[in-house]
Amino acid sequence: GAGVSQSPSNKVTEKGKDVELRCDPISGHTALYWYRQSLGQGLEFLIYFQGNSAPDKSGLPSDRFSAERTGGSVSTLTIQRTQQEDSAVYLCASSLRHNPDTQYFGPGTRLTVL
Amino acid sequence: DQQVKQNSPSLSVQEGRISILNCDYTNSMFDYFLWYKKYPAEGPTFLISISSIKDKNEDGRFTVFLNKSAKHLSLHIVPSQPGDSAVYFCAASVNAGGTSYGKLTFGQGTILTVHP
């Protein structure tokens, strides 16, 4: 079956531009997560969705970051007015509601802000 | 504040020998621990987990040990194989009897290289 997919796989942008990152979770997975991995760091939690609602947005680093999920499926992470410190690999994961800790990750989007 | 720490950035092991990856945590609320494995250009994949009510969990060549008093866990791979070469992440959550919604706190990762 299809796993979690993310697009684009790589994104190079200029400082100050907006970017959108997309995640397609595994069909039937109600929970969706965004993480960020900066160079030499572990994965940093950003936001959690259950269905279309986001009960926990506590990891979003600033108000330049936002995310939405529609139809209980596809999610988009938007970063406005990108800064160089936003450069990282952005990973999306999904899981079943009854087993949330076992998460299935996509390959990530590598974002480079010049 | 790094609540989950993997103090060894890398580990090199000979094929057939044991690999031991270590992880320490500071948050005493964590009660569920996982190891994820990551190959280059791929997302992490779940490997093995352990609840705080246990001190050991085994799955084939992989065993995770938990020492709650020391807030320490380790992953043992025996025997190590070249295909095990990857980045290994330790993760923790507050499961609280099944109330977790999956907010995982990850360590920085350890790069394991298994030489033929």
pLDDT recorded at residue A59: 93
CA nearest to A25, candidates A97, A96, A73: A73
State the best of A34, A101, A102, A109 to mutate against chain B, taking most chain B CBs within 10 Å: A101
What's the pLDDT tens digit per position in A55-90? Answer: 899 999 999 999 999 988 999 999 999 999 999 999
Q: Write the residue in A35, A43, A103 that is nearest to B46 by C-beta.
A: A103
What's the pLDDT tens digit per position in A4-31? Answer: 999 999 999 999 999 999 999 999 999 9
Nearest C-alpha in A relative to B100: A100
Two structure tokens written together for A75: 């999610």
pLDDT at B62 over 60: yes
B104:A43 CB<8 A: yes
A93:B107 CB<8 A: no
Q: What is the mean pLDDT of residues B92-106?
A: 81
Residues 6+ apart with CB under 8 A from A34: A23, A45, A46, A47, A59, A67, A75, A77, A90, A91, A92
Residues of B in contact with A104 (CB under 8 A): 43, 45-46
pLDDT recorded at residue A2: 81
pLDDT recorded at residue A1: 55
What's the pLDDT tens digit per position in B15-60? Answer: 999 999 999 999 999 999 999 999 998 999 999 999 999 999 999 9
pLDDT at B97 over 70: no
Q: Write the residue in B42, B104, B108 that is nearest to A101 by C-beta.
A: B104
pLDDT recorded at residue B69: 96
pLDDT recorded at residue A113: 97
The rounded distance, in Å, linking the Cα atoms of A77 and A8 is: 12
pLDDT recorded at residue B104: 92
Residue B107 contacts residue B23 (beta carbons within 8 Å)? yes
pLDDT bracket for residue A39 (50, 70, 90): confident
Q: How far is B84 from chain A (nearest CA, A)?
A: 18
B89:A50 CB<8 A: no
pLDDT recorded at residue A99: 83
The rounded distance, in Å, linking the Cα atoms of A8 and B79 is: 38
pLDDT at A112 over 90: yes
Looking at residue A43, its amino acid is L
Rg (CA), chain B: 14
pLDDT recorded at residue B82: 97
pLDDT recorded at residue A98: 80
The rounded distance, in Å, linking the Cα atoms of A28 and A77 is: 20
pLDDT at B78 over 60: yes
Residues forming a β-bridge with B11: B112
Q: How far is B36 from chain A (nearest CA, A)?
A: 9
